[in-house]
Structures are given as C-alpha cells and as structure tokens.
Amino acid sequence: MIPKSHPRYESLRKRNLIVYGIKKEITSMHGLIAHGRGEAFDYLLGEKTNEFAEKSIEVASIMLMLAKHPAISVNGNAAAIVPKELVKLSKMIPAPLEVNIFHQSKKREIKIKKHLEKYGAKNVLLPDKRYNIKFLESNRKYVNKDGILKADVVFVPLEDGDRTEALINNGKKVITIDLNPLSRTSQKATIVIVDNITRAMPLLIKKIKKLKKHSKNKLKGIARNYNNKKNLKKSLRYMLQNLS
Ligand code: PTJ
C-alpha cells in the first residue's frame, strides 16, 4: 500500500499496475522495460500534459469520431494501466478493442480479453491467423477481419517499433500515445500524442464528449491546420529545454 502523501505516489501507482499486470499474466516481462523507458521521458515532460499534447488529443478525437471503421489496438501494458479508459473509449466512439501483442502468447491474449471484459468491454476481438497485414513479420501482423483489418483509423497507444509504419503502408491512419518523441512509432504515426497514457486517455475521452455536439464540417475545420511533424518538434524542443 503506497501512502497517498508520498511525493512519488502517482509514479509508484503506475509501476504497481504494471507489476500487477505481470502477476495476472496480462503484461509481458518486457513491459517493465518499456515502462521504465517511458518514465524517463515523462521526467523530461515535467510529468504533465503539455499544450502540444492537448492539441494532438483534440485532433486525434476528431479523427476517431470521423473514422468509418476505427479500431483500438490493445497490448499488455495498455491493458494493465488503463483498462477502464480503453473500454470507455471503445463504447463512446464506438470502436472494437482488438488484442494485439508483440510477445506472442495465446494464453496472454485470452487473459487480456477477459481482463477488458471485467471492466465492461462487450466487443473484444482477438487476432486471427487467417488474416494479416502486409509489410510486417512479427506476431503483430495477425489481425481480426472485423477490427484492424478493415479499419481506416487504428488507435495504437504505447506501441512498439515497426507496426505503425506497416499499418500506414497498409493504407491506414495511425494514432498513437508515446512518451518518446524520437521513437519510430512517434516519427511514423499520423498523429502522435506525446504524453503519458494515464493522463492522455481521460483527456481524450473528455474531448470526445465535448466535441460530439459539433457538426462534421466544424470538426474538419478544427483539425485542418494541424501539422503533426511541427507538433512533434515542439515536444522535442520542450524536452531539450528541460535538459538544459
Ligand atoms: O504486450 P506486448 O507483448 O505487445 O508488449 C508491449 C510492449 C510495450 C512491451 C512492447 O510493445 C514494447 O517493447 O514496446 P517498446 O518498443 O518498448 O515501446 C514502448 C513505447 O511506449 C516506448 O517508446 C515508451 O517510451 C512508451 N511508453 C512506455 N510507457 C508509456 C509510454 N508511452 C505513454 N505512456 C506510458 N505510460
């Protein structure tokens, strides 16, 4: 039990969620390394949501709302840290949740599905070996025909390496949340939210709720001038300033 008065309470709480995810066999051991890497970048962000992340959250909300077939990809880390928010987002858009993991394990896929269902998910898809996306060799190439395969927009928070690029080369738009603006995912995604998934997910949900009252044209107008590359540079500049 971590006392709420601890100065690092929030950070320790997140660590506990990842450790709990490993104990529950939802998260892979490698998830610990990914989390630690994220923590280091979060320090450079001042552990807060910055203006550049708020902007990409707004445009990501619009892209998800305007998508014909959106899908939400879930791995072992995301499932452990923000299960409630993933389920809420899936119901709001609406979009199916699809389990898609890098470190192959049928058992873990099923455990992630059950974990999400415990949080109220009604439509959790699993990868199906009969369907795969092109330009990818890893386990993450296997997809579900009702989810990522037919999706025009794929939300892949906390992603590893080359899949974003493969999804883009398969003609899809990709939205990601990544604390590391230098990662391959951040560099290749259509929209990257440089923020912690724990802070960005509630804000994304809140933003969608707020924007729902607007017409499609109005939404397109808000998103029109967004430049992902420029926004990404702002996040990097911010981190460099914090270092000096
Ligand atoms: O469950 P699996 O098998 O699919 O494995 C999932 C992990 C995350 C272990 C796997 O995808 C992986 O190894 O990822 P990487 O290559 O380490 O990339 C994870 C990225 O997420 C890194 O760029 C981290 O900086 C970033 N990251 C880590 N924690 C957070 C984060 N971004 C946002 N919020 C976080 N809490």
How does pLDDT run across 2-19, given as a tens digit for each residue?
Answer: 788 887 888 888 899 999
Give 159 Cα–ligand 1 centroid separation in angstroms. 5
How does pLDDT run across 130-177, given as a tens digit for each residue?
Answer: 999 999 998 899 999 999 999 999 999 998 768 999 999 999 999 999
Give 123 Cα–ligand 1 centroid separation in angstroms. 24
Tell me the C-alpha distance between 63 and 191, whole Å: 9
SS3 for 10-46 is: HHHHHHHHHHHHHHCCCCCCHHHHHHHHHHHHHHHCC
Q: What is the mean pLDDT of residues 83-109?
A: 97
Q: What is the mean pLDDT of residues 235-242?
A: 94
Give the confidence band of 202 by pLDDT, cuts at 50, 70, 90: very high
> Which residue has the least CA distance to atom 15 on ligand 1?
160
Closest ligand 1 atom to 27 CA: 1
Q: Is the pLDDT of residue 53 over 70?
A: yes
pLDDT value, residue 57 = 98
Q: Is the pLDDT of residue 228 over 80?
A: yes
> Which residue has the least CA distance to atom 5 on ligand 1?
102
Closest ligand 1 atom to 195 CA: 33
Q: What is the pTM of this model?
A: 0.96
Closest ligand 1 atom to 103 CA: 3
Give 9 Cα–ligand 1 centroid separation in angstroms. 21
Residue 102 in contact with ligand 1 by CB distance below 6 A = yes
pLDDT value, residue 131 = 97
pLDDT value, residue 77 = 98
Tell me the C-alpha distance between 130 and 157, whole Å: 25
Q: What is the mean pLDDT of residues 224-234?
A: 94
Give the confidence band of 236 by pLDDT, cuts at 50, 70, 90: very high
pLDDT above 70 as % of the chain? 100
pLDDT value, residue 161 = 67
Q: Is the pLDDT of residue 242 over 90?
A: no
Beta-carbon contacts of 64 under 8 Å, excluding residues fewer than 6 positions away, are 70, 93, 95, 153, 155, 175, 208
Q: Is the pLDDT of residue 62 over 90?
A: yes
Tell me the C-alpha distance between 19 and 233, whole Å: 33
Give the confidence band of 34 by pLDDT, cuts at 50, 70, 90: very high
> Which residue has the least CA distance to atom 9 on ligand 1?
31
